[in-house]
Amino acid sequence: MIFEKHPELRGKHATLAPSQPYWLRYDNEQLYQKYVSSYAQSMGTSLHELAETLIANGLKLKKNDELTVLSHLLGDGIPRNVIDMDRIYGNLRNYVNDGIGYKLTPEQILYYSPYCFGTADAISFRNNFLRIHDLKTGTQPAKMEQLLVYAALFCLEYKIKPGDIDVELRIYQNEEIIHDEPTAEDILPVMDCIVQHSRMMEQIHEGELR
């Protein structure tokens, strides 16, 4: 038997994947939600790219700019029937406009070691005030812990003592703005964990630990 090669499908995953056969028991509504969720990651990527461009160029979104966002998503191959503009647009507009208003730098990589680094959606540091904003496009409630790690990475990379600065963290999700103002007591343990875990990973990499 000579099997078909299907080279165009290498590295891709089907919505109805054999490796995750839960869909065998799905009804029509569950199948529809599966279809919608299969585009969640690509839609999130598309919205983050658009937000980065808008913030970097100081282009605020107005109340009637929904078609601009819709056109961008469609251009990135997101099907119209999975785009909920009522849920997406207000959240994106708040995030973009605040990012511009606070003069944030979008998509900034924060680095401590080859084992611990990440990209903050939007960040600024001036007058000893660290501000980090995060855009969430999914519906599952996000946790502030991720932003706390970004704050710790910032302090480690730029050798800033968290007790010497003020910090505000914001999550933009479902048209809500969740904010936190962590103190040094919150950030220092995360910094210590990053340092210790990075050291451990390095020892494992060098074969010192198994």
Residues in CB range of 141: below 8 A, 6 or more apart:
173
The residues facing 178 across adjacent strands are 171
Q: How confident is the model over 12-63, as pLDDT tens digits?
A: 888 888 988 998 999 999 999 999 988 999 999 999 999 999 999 999 999 8
User: Please, what sign has the CA dihedral across residues 86, 174, 141, 143?
Assistant: positive
Domain spans, the chain: 25-100, 104-205
Q: pTM for the complete prediction?
A: 0.90
Residues in CB range of 132: below 8 A, 6 or more apart:
120, 121, 122, 123, 147, 150, 151, 154, 167, 168, 169, 170
CB atoms within 10 A of CB 186: 17
Q: How confident is the model over 184-208, as pLDDT tens digits?
A: 999 999 999 999 999 999 999 887 6
Nearest CA to 110 among 50, 150, 64? Answer: 150
Residues in CB range of 113: below 8 A, 6 or more apart:
194, 198, 201, 202
User: Are the C-beta atoms of 73 and 103 separated by less than 8 Å?
Assistant: no
The continuous run of DSSP H or E covering 177 comes out as: strand 176-180
Q: What is the mean pLDDT of residues 124-134?
A: 98
